[in-house]
Amino acid sequence: MDTLIEFFSLQDPNIRYVLAGTILLGISSGALGCFAILRRRALVGDAVAHSILPGVCLAFIIAGGKDPFMLILGAFVFGLLSMVTMDFISRNSRIAPDASIGMVLSVFFGLGVVLLTFIQTTGYIDQSGLDDFLFGQAASMVGDDVMVFGGLSLLILIVTILVFKELKLVSFDPSYARSIGYPVKRMEFLLALLMVLVITAGIQAVGVVLMASMLIIPAAAARYWTDSLRVMLLIAAGVGAVSGVTGSFISYTAPAMPTGPWMVVSAAFIFFLSFLLAPGRGEIARHIQKRRLSHKVACENILKTLYSMEEEDGRTDRLRPAKELRKRRHLASRRMKKVLSTLLRKGYVTYFRGTPDGYLLTADGRKEAKRLVRVHRLWEQYLSQHLQIAEDHVHEDAESMEHLITSEIEAQLRTSLGSPALDPHKSTIPYDSDEDEPAGGKSGDKHKQGGTP
């Protein structure tokens, strides 16, 4: 707790630096990552990140130690080189893009590890801090590093905001963009360049192995919350920033711990929350929606069952015990209770105590049940008449469609079929015009028609 207060009191100027650096990095990688995943270039980002390692090592060798400018130059050159190589392979050979991405990633990274080992074994070069570039070490950034890496992040962010409109069009519809004269190739190159730059900016704090996830995860999490590209960029930037803060804090409290994994884990945690909790698209929301739909279907099926029982014996005044309903519709008794209480609440059925006790359709309930039976039979008629589907094959489909047919579609069906009297099984299709039973259903044998829905 004390360290937490100490950290966030921002007394230590070094903490302020490191925090500023990682937050900037998180924001720019999150925002730019949105374009990477929407253009399906996320894996390319991963390959570029890994391919940077030989550049980092060469920068150490040439500068004889750690020098931020040399590092950026080396990383940038090799990032670009890997991208050009991937592009070249997929354009000039029959190798599929995923294979060329995998190849470039492993070959460049392998080369990097060779150089890394070389530096570590020769001992001529000041190798302190070199390991940090594999998994990141935010706290090892000193003033100069933060200026350079943070400055780079800021630059990327500014460019992304400036050309947001153009990036949006090129990402969504490149052929239209080209048709109105946009320099699409150059825009795509700019995006690639920005991606290499943001990966370069992240090598110190996140490291080459995990940097791609700072592009991918915040953007993927953000997609859950919004359908607007602008908002998606803002959320992804926020997720990136939070991950940056987490990384810095860990780096500060446990200096031996690499920061990259912590930043990624904290971004992944936010992704997981989004995956579960996001309204509409999250798993919980979807589960609730599914439950609601299946409850609605169950309610409608029970209404239909009550109606067909009336159709069968022609009696609207006979109590229908829950047990009997369960025999016809295989519902667990707990679900049946829920369904019946919903129907009671909606006023579709009434409950009467008797021997045995049971349920009766109300006028409203009968009207709704009739509607269901009607759209079911209309749909069957439509399938057999317009799609020439055999009579014994139409029931199953109608059984699910009846819950989805809106009043507009029903009207269209009736116009197109001319409100037929019978369905393909020769059962009467019930229309509302002959509907005049009083509530409680005391009048007797209006329903002489046989058949089941």
The residues of the shown chain that bind another protein, judged by CB under 8 A, are 38, 162-163, 165-166, 168-169, 171-173, 175-176, 178-182, 185, 223, 226-229, 232
- Kindly tell me which of 69 and 176 has the beta carbon lying closer to another protein: 176
Maximum Cα interatomic distance, the chain, rounded to a whole number of Å: 104
**CB within 8 Å of 55: residues ≥ 6 apart:** 73, 74, 75, 76, 77, 78, 79, 112
- Kindly tell me which of 10 and 162 has the beta carbon lying closer to another protein: 162
Question: Do the beta carbons of residue 261 and residue 35 sit within 8 Å?
Answer: no
* SS3 category, 320: strand
- Kindly tell me which of 56 and 220 has the beta carbon lying closer to another protein: 220
- Kindly tell me which of 38 and 77 has the beta carbon lying closer to another protein: 38
* Shortest distance in whole angstroms from residue 18 CB to another protein: 33
- Kindly tell me which of 223 and 320 has the beta carbon lying closer to another protein: 223
* Shortest distance in whole angstroms from residue 231 CB to another protein: 8
- Rama region for 155: left / alpha / beta (φ>0; ψ in -120 to 50; rest): alpha
Distance between CA 453 and CA 449 in Å, rounded? Answer: 11
Which residue shows structure tokens 């519809």? Answer: 173
* Shortest distance in whole angstroms from residue 174 CB to another protein: 9
* Shortest distance in whole angstroms from residue 112 CB to another protein: 34
Q: Which residue from 219, 320, 201 is spatially nearest to 274, judged by alpha carbons? A: 219
Distance between CA 418 and CA 411 in Å, rounded? Answer: 10
* Shortest distance in whole angstroms from residue 173 CB to another protein: 5
* SS3 category, 428: strand
Helix H or strand E segment including 98:
helix 97-122
* Shortest distance in whole angstroms from residue 3 CB to another protein: 39
- Kindly tell me which of 61 and 409 has the beta carbon lying closer to another protein: 409
* Shortest distance in whole angstroms from residue 279 CB to another protein: 14
- Kindly tell me which of 52 and 167 has the beta carbon lying closer to another protein: 167
Distance between CA 52 and CA 199 in Å, rounded? Answer: 9
Distance between CA 247 and CA 236 in Å, rounded? Answer: 16
